[in-house]
Amino acid sequence: MDVNNQEMCGYVFLGPLSRIPGPLSARLFGAPYFFAKLTGQASKYLLKMHSFYGPIVRVSPNEVSVANTEAIKKIFSTHKFKKSVLYKNSITLTEDIFTTDNEEFNKMRRSQLNSGISQHNLVGIENVIIE
C-alpha cells in the first residue's frame, strides 16, 4: 500500500468524520451524492440516506449532511468557520454571498438579507413554502 492509499484509508476510517455514519462508497468517493446532485436528485438521495442512517450522514469523504434543527443551530451559531474551496468552483462570474470568502463583503450582504430570511419570517410563510 503506498502513502496516498494509507493516507486515504486513515482519513476514511480514522479521520475526524470517521464516526459519522454513511455508506462506504460515500466515505471513499462521494460518487453517489455527486451523481444525485448532477441529476437533480440530491434531496431525494439525502432523504433516503437520513431515513437509513439517521440525522447526521457522511455523504462524501469530506461532506456531511445534517437533518437536525438543533445541530444546525449549533453549527451555524458561530461565523468562525471558513468556507470550503468548493464554493470557489461556482459558475458565477462575480463574487456573491454564496461564493465569497471575504468576511466584510459577506457581512454586508448578510445584513441585507437577514430580515427576509429570519426564523420569524420563514415560520410566517412556512405553509406557502410547503405547498
72 CB neighbour count, 10 Å cutoff? 12
63-66 and 56-60 strand pairing: antiparallel
34 CB neighbour count, 10 Å cutoff? 15
The structure's pTM equals 0.57
CB 64 within 8 A of CB 20: yes
**Spatial CA neighbour of 105 closest among 83, 131, 89:** 83
pLDDT value at 1 more than 60:
no
Cell numbers 445534517: residue: 66
pLDDT average, residue stretch 64-77: 84
pLDDT value at 78 more than 80:
no
